[in-house]
Chains A and B, each alone.
Chain A
Amino acid sequence: MSLTSRERILAAAKANKPEELPLPTVPDFGGEATVERFTTVLTGIGGTVVRMGGLQELGETLQQLFPEARNVASPLFRGTVPVNRETPTGILAEIDLAVLPGEIGVAENGCVWLPEANMLHRALPTITQHLALVLDQRQIVATMHQAYAQLPHTGGYGKFVAGPSKTADIEQSLVIGAHGARSLVVVLY
């Protein structure tokens, strides 16, 4: 808050830091960028992977996966609830299913990069009861190094999502569905 604390901290950091050491270069370790690996890992952490022939099959695929979803929000088609940045919390809280486009999938850990521009509202991916991420399978990379290499910057807000919200805080028993989405399906095409 005060200018003095800032100056004091910076001066102390400067005075107490060790001699300068080099910044290592992070190599690209290669690795397996396959749909199979991505699927195995994501399934192992509680997510589901579904494959479809092309985007035109999305409606039908979702119909089969979520026959009961009533309040659906998506930028990919006209959902039942229009959502934008100004949508009030009360309406967001009623959403059963959000269908959002993912940008990059990472095979080694099953996560999908979801930038702000694809979310409609920043809270939507976590407040929705169920989340479906639609991903072009050619966008799967092997590791986090390759994923970050493809991101020039992360925008105002963005996140990697790996599976449904979960917790193991009660006696280390894994429970799916803590605060965020209770399930995660990645729809690959």
Chain B
Amino acid sequence: MSHAIRADKFLLDADRTTWHDETLWFVREKRDRAVYAVPEFQELRELASGIKNHTLSRLDLYLQEFEAAAKANGVHVHWAADAAEHNAIILDITRKAGATRIVKSKSMLTEECHLNPFLIQHGIEVVDTDLGERIIQFRDEPPSHIVLPAIHLKKEDVGDTFHTHLGTDKGENDPQRLTEAARQHLRAKFLAGEVAISGVNFAIAETGAVVVCTNEGNADLGVNLARVHIAAMGIEKIIPRLSDLGVFTRLLARSATGQPVTTYTSHFAKPAPGKEMHIVIVDNGRTQQLGRPDFRASLKCIRCGACMNTCPVYRRSGGHSYDFTVPGPIGAILSPNIDMKKHSSLPFASTLCGSCTDVCPVKIDIHTQLYKWRQVLGEANEIPASKKWGMKFMGRVLASTRVYGLGGQFARKALRLLPHGLTHAPSMNAWAVARELPEAPKQSFREWYAKQPAPAAPSKTSA
């Protein structure tokens, strides 16, 4: 099913679409204010981009440096080539720990690997502890945004969900009281958690530590109460030095939510005495992306979500319309790498306005990559037939002055004469489904120009 068809479903509720659009734009505006408050913000973006480019150019070496440092810290390091191996490793660690209850803090990687259903299938209880994640876990939905997983839901939706699952009063919609109910519910889970899984925002090659950024403190609470900590990281999370973190921590939260920094920026290097710490380093298609020069820059992504908040298509189509773990502009670059056929419509879910590229804190050329994917998909024959023939036809028309002139004449007539029902038939003109066609002028610019008196030659003195 294409992005456009799934987006149609989201658009059925016009009020909700408008609200979604406005809510994300509000976040984008907060981002702008936070960014303008830092005079060297553009320099920081350049540095972040440079550090990430450098790291990718020595990725194998930094991964080994990181592994050695982590092992020296007493951490168990595991390597997973794909999602299945990642899941198997985590199940194995959990079983060896004799545990049946896992508390998890936010991690897009475990989402990408579909870890939760896998563990549940094997009789393990997994509780997502980030509030947004918990809400969608109750509702059995995937996250619709990488930073704001439940951004598609209104407080009434959350109220209903909590009424069903946590027994809050029917009609209770107050965010403060709903959050308090979740706090009490999740505290019980934290206290009973045996294994804690966290994501990784940054992994420092120099020290072997992983850094986790949250506002709620759920990673800290989960990890520090459980016996076993498992941190799951993609290979691209590496940065060389502790000092590089200064750059990224200044960019991440400001770009994500407009905060000066996340409430907790936690560095986990060694297990507490008597406890265990594991790091699972995951590839799952990333080395392949590294080998595609046009698309490797997508591995620099620090998952701030700024490109989503600013994207006019994402804001109006909702995260679920992308049907991929990472939605929005960056997801549209990452997804065809994983499955070109399934995600062939995503690089077209963009106006190519470039707003994503403008806000990206690590300077990924997002809109250029979207454009390049379109060409790759075209060559691989993964473009929908209607689009492909339309493009071919337009290509011919635009290649010949004569055909273009005739076509223009014909269109100007046809638009005036043909009945609305035909020019707006959804099967023939998807563009006009929600738009009016412009009124056709009587003559073309070329015709008008031909009738104008020749302009006087510019005099030399005025030059």
Interface residues of A (CB under 8 A from B): 1-2, 5-6, 8-24, 26, 29, 41, 44-45, 85, 89-90, 92-93, 106, 108-111, 121-123, 125-127, 143-145, 147-149, 151, 153-173, 175, 177-181
Contacts and interface: CB of A to CB of B under 8 A. Distances in A.
A180 B216 CA distance: 6
Given A1-B88, A26-B244, A155 B265 contact: no
A178 B183 contact: yes
B15 to A, nearest CB: 14
Given A126-B217, A173-B175, A16 B290 contact: yes
Given A172-B23, A178-B131, A1 B79 contact: yes
Interface stretch (B280-288, B346-354, B413-421): B280-288
B288 A153 contact: no
22 contacts: A12-B290, A13-B59, A16-B290, A17-B56, A17-B57, A22-B50, A24-B47, A24-B51, A106-B261, A111-B265, A125-B220, A144-B245, A145-B243, A165-B216, A166-B215, A166-B263, A170-B131, A175-B175, A178-B215, A178-B216, A179-B190, A180-B264
A93 B150 CA distance: 28
Given A13-B235, A24-B51, A108 B191 contact: no
Nearest to B272: A122
Given A89-B191, A109-B261, A179-B186, A170 B290 contact: no
Contacts of A159: 220, 264-267
Given A111-B261, A111-B265, A1 B243 contact: no
Contacts of A125: 220
Contact of A180 (B180, B207, B221): B221
A128 to B, nearest CB: 11
A161 B263 contact: yes
Nearest to B243: A148
Given A157-B267, A157-B270, A181 B293 contact: no
Interface size band for B: 35 or more
Contacts of B130: 169
A138 B257 CA distance: 30
Interface in B20-62: 23, 26-27, 38-40, 43, 46-47, 50-51, 53-54, 56-60
A80 to B, nearest CB: 21
Given A12-B288, A23-B54, A157-B272, A126 B224 contact: yes
Contacts of A85: 272-273
Contacts of B129: 179
Contact of A162 (B51, B261, B281): B261
B148 A169 contact: yes
Nearest to B265: A160
Contacts of A9: 63, 79, 81, 235, 281, 283, 287
Contacts of B261: 106, 109-111, 144, 160, 162
B317 to A, nearest CB: 19
B363 to A, nearest CB: 12
A148 B215 contact: no
Contact of B260 (A5, A6, A19, A45): A45
A109 B260 CA distance: 5
Contacts of B149: 169
Given A1-B92, A18-B57, A26 B243 contact: yes
Contacts of B54: 20-24
A20 to B, nearest CB: 5
Interface stretch (B246-254, B391-399, B433-441): B246-254
Contact of B40 (A29, A163, A173): A29
B218 interface: yes
A12 B267 CA distance: 29
Contact of A153 (B39, B151, B242, B260): B242
B132 interface: yes
A10 B321 CA distance: 35
Contacts of A1: 78-80, 85, 88-89, 92
A12 B246 contact: no
B291 A15 contact: yes
A119 B263 CA distance: 17
A125 B27 CA distance: 29
Contact of B58 (A20, A45, A177): A20
A13 B207 contact: no
Given A85-B272, A145-B246, A167-B131, 19 more contacts: A10-B64, A17-B57, A21-B54, A21-B57, A45-B259, A89-B191, A108-B250, A111-B261, A127-B225, A143-B250, A154-B209, A155-B267, A160-B265, A161-B264, A162-B260, A162-B262, A164-B263, A172-B27, A175-B176
